[in-house]
Structure formats: structure tokens, C-alpha cells
Amino acid sequence: MSLADTEPFAPRSFRTVLAHYPTGVAVVTGLAGDGEPVGMVVGSFTSVSLDPPLVAFLPDKKSNSYARLSSARSFCVNVLAADQEDLCRRFASKETRKFDGVAWRPGPSGAPVLAGAVAWIDCAADQVFEAGDHYIVLGRVTALGVQNPTAPLLFYQGGYGGFTARSLVAPYENDLSAQIRLADLARDHMRALADEFGLECYAQSVVGDEIVVVAAAGPPETAVRTHVGRRLPLVPPYGALFVGGEGERAAEEWIARLPRPVSEEDRATCLRMLDQVRRRQWSLGLVSQRHESVWTEVDGFTAAARTPELDRRMSHVLDEVLDQYEPEELDLDALHDVRVIAAPVHGRDGTVVQVLVLFGMPPQASTSQIARWRERLIAAADAVTETIGGRNPTRAA
């Protein structure tokens, strides 16, 4: 069948169908021939070649902004952040003084690098090709960098939005308000544990593909309330209690989120962890010197917009402490530095709906002291399970 045999379609249909493909949003900037900065919004920026490094964008032939930009010897592609929609609209408007009040710095070529942009790509103008009612402008990359590693601005079906990572563990779609209500039922038990041991106790829930701290209790002198709202990715070793009883598919998806090719040894280690927490109905993490870097990344993960790069970085630091979680046995004659002890709260269908965690244990604890912490935490989690009418399938008759 030739092109002549295809059904004709209206330009509006063309736009409507292609609008279902989301695109990134960038502002291409440069210094016009008169030395003044110029910029235009494009949704057609793309990488072209790695060797040599080439990129391209496709401006409308009727664009007045491109008419001025075309006089520049170089240009800079500014990848906009999700919170820069106003800046995007400014550069997409017919405003003649678009740079008034806009913070920027000159890139290596002199072209403007916009403050707050996710990334910038400085280019030497290479070639321009005609393509229907647009040009294809090819640029040779001379310098580039990431200055604001956050979520990018996207254009989709005529509107602007941000990037949200897809949930990889669909069974865990939960309403956070329901999780907070559940934590309210656990609050008295959490306070009792905190008062008895002088430790911090908090409740974790899974929302989408993240673990969220929804409530906390602890001694007045601690900063326990700062835990509330912390987010962690559901990636080994975090979340074993949530995943352990959810079957093979959930286990494989959890393991697949390790930040490296998963070897048979990795897979066996993670499956052992899941089997262990499922049988024991508690989880144990020991202190590692690498935990400080984990906590720094947790703060960043909690505060920043979610991006694949942020997920990868967080997964890498968690991978570094994987061997500190779920030890098979503790040496009875040794002292241990415990990071966390956790126990599950079960819902009516037997699934783990929340996890209670003890944190802030003093160093060099004996196995008998660790056992006391663990047994009291398990008792508290079981009491909450009973309160909500849940059942622990491992203890069912």
C-alpha cells in the first residue's frame, strides 16, 4: 500500500493523536547577533548521536524567536524542572523582553543557562534542514551538566505536568489517610514501648512503591517527630516484612529493584531474607558504618521530587547495607549494635498492613536485651492486629 492509498486526516487529528505521546519541555537560549539574550520553548528536543555528540530541536519556520536565535553561533538547551511551568509560559509567550527578571548565567559558549533548570546542554550550531513547516536544527554538544537533579516538566495532551515514577508493586496501592488512622490505633502501644525502653518507636506503611513513616513516639529529648513523613523506596533490604507474605511475584519484583544485575547469589540472599521474616514474624537490622550515608540519602529522597536517578542512588546506598539485615543467628556470647527491630501488624486478610519499628537502641546490646526489645515489640504489634480484627496467618490454628 502506498501513501496515496491511506485515508486522509485533518491536521487536528494529527495533533490529537500525537498529543498522547508526552514530551519533555526545554528552553533553547542563545545570544542573538545584537548580543541580546533570546530564548524559545521547544517540545521537540532530542539526542541524535553519541559519536560525535549531536542533539537537535525542531522550531516552527514562522517562529519569531527562532528567527532571532538563528543568528546565534551557539545555543544552550535548558531542560525545565516540573516547578518551572510559569517560566515555560513566559518563554512561550509573545513577550518581547522574556529575560526581564529571569535569573541566568552564561554557559561556556555564552548562551544563557537558566537558574533552576534540571540540566543544560551547550551546543555549537551545526546544520539546519527543512522538514515541512519546521526546521531541524542540529547542534554539536560542546559542554553539558546537571544543575538541579529533580523531576522534569512534561507536556501531555495540551497541558503541563511532572514525572511520577510508576509503582512496581501494584498490590500495595494504599490510601495514606487510612494508614494514619491505623497508626492512631497503634499509638498507645508505641508510646508504652518508647516509655519502657527509652527508645523511639514508629509505624511504617507502604504507599505505592514507597515505605512511609506515618506515626512516631519517643522520649521528649529525641528528634523522633522528624521521622514522620520520611519516605524510603521499597527495595532490598527495606520492606521485607511487607513483601515476605505476598507471594512469588511480589518477591521477584522486590528483588528486581536491586541497583545491579541480579545474580543467583543475590536472588538467593533476598529470598532467604523474605523466608526468614515470614517465619519469624520480625525483622532485625544491625548497625553499619555506611548507615550515615544511607540516612543522608533518605533525607534527600524524602525532600526531593521522585526521579529514576534518585531511585537508583537510593537503591545503591541501601545495597551497601544489605548484609546487615536479617542475620540468621546472633552470637550469644557477643554484644551487638542494633539499628532497628521491626514487627508486622496484620489485616483481616492476613496481609501485613503496617510495621512497628524500634529505633535508637544503645550500642553493645546483649542478646538477652535484644530479645526483650523484640518480644515486647511483637506483643505490641499483635495487640494492634487484634484491635483491628486482623489475623496472623503464621499463627492461625
Per-residue pLDDT of the chain (397 residues; tens, 9 = 90+): 444 455 567 777 877 787 777 889 999 999 998 999 999 999 999 999 999 999 999 999 999 999 999 999 999 999 999 889 999 999 998 888 899 999 999 999 999 999 999 999 999 999 999 999 999 999 999 999 999 888 899 887 777 777 654 333 333 344 577 888 888 899 999 999 999 999 999 999 998 778 888 888 887 655 555 567 788 888 888 899 999 988 898 999 888 887 778 788 888 999 999 999 999 999 999 987 766 666 666 666 655 666 666 667 666 766 777 788 898 888 988 999 999 999 999 999 999 999 999 988 999 999 999 999 999 999 999 999 999 999 988 865 4
Q: Whole-angstrom Cα distance, residue 388 to residue 58?
A: 59
Task: Decide: 54 and 44 in contact? Cβ < 8 Å.
Answer: no
pTM more than 0.85:
no
Phi first, then psi: what are they for 339, rounded to 5°? -85, -55
Task: Decide: 227 and 212 in contact? Cβ < 8 Å.
Answer: no
Contacts 24+ apart (CB under 8 A), 306-310: 306/151, 306/163, 306/164, 306/165, 307/149, 307/150, 307/151, 307/163, 307/165, 308/165, 309/149, 310/149
Kindly state the DSSP code that residue 240 receives in the 8-state scheme.
H
Q: What is the DSSP string of 121-188?
A: EEEEEEEEEEETTEEEEEEEEEEEEES--SPBEEEETTEEEE--PPPS-GGG---HHHHHHHHHHHHH
Alpha carbon separation from 305 to 118, 165, 299 (Å, rounded)? 12, 10, 12
Tell me, what's the pLDDT at 156? 77
Map grid coordinates 512469588 to a residue: 248
Q: Whole-angstrom Cα distance, residue 313 to residue 310?
A: 5
Task: Decide: 191 and 159 in contact? Cβ < 8 Å.
Answer: no
Q: Whole-angstrom Cα distance, residue 321 to residue 80?
A: 35
- In three-state form (DSSP H/G/I as H, E/B as E, the rest C), the secondary structure along 35-104 is CCEEEEEECCCEEEECCCCEEEECCECCCHHHHHHCCCCEEEEEECECCCHHHHHHHHCCCCCCCCCCCE
Domain ranges of the chain: 3-162, 170-327+334-387
Tell me, what's the pLDDT at 274? 95
3-162 has CATH 2.30.110.10 classification: yes
Instruction: Return the C-alpha cell found at 362.
Output: 544503645
| The residue type at 226 | T
Q: Whole-angstrom Cα distance, residue 39 to residue 153?
A: 17
Estimate the crossing angle of helix 264-280 against helix 248-256, to 10 degrees. Answer: 130
Beta pairing partners, 78: 27, 120
Tell me, what's the pLDDT at 12? 76
170-327+334-387 has CATH 2.30.30.60 classification: no
Task: Decide: 183 and 213 in contact? Cβ < 8 Å.
Answer: no
Map grid coordinates 551487638 to a residue: 336
Tell me, what's the pLDDT at 230? 81
Where does residue 110 rank: exposed (0-12), middle (13-18), buried (19+ CB within 10 A)?
middle
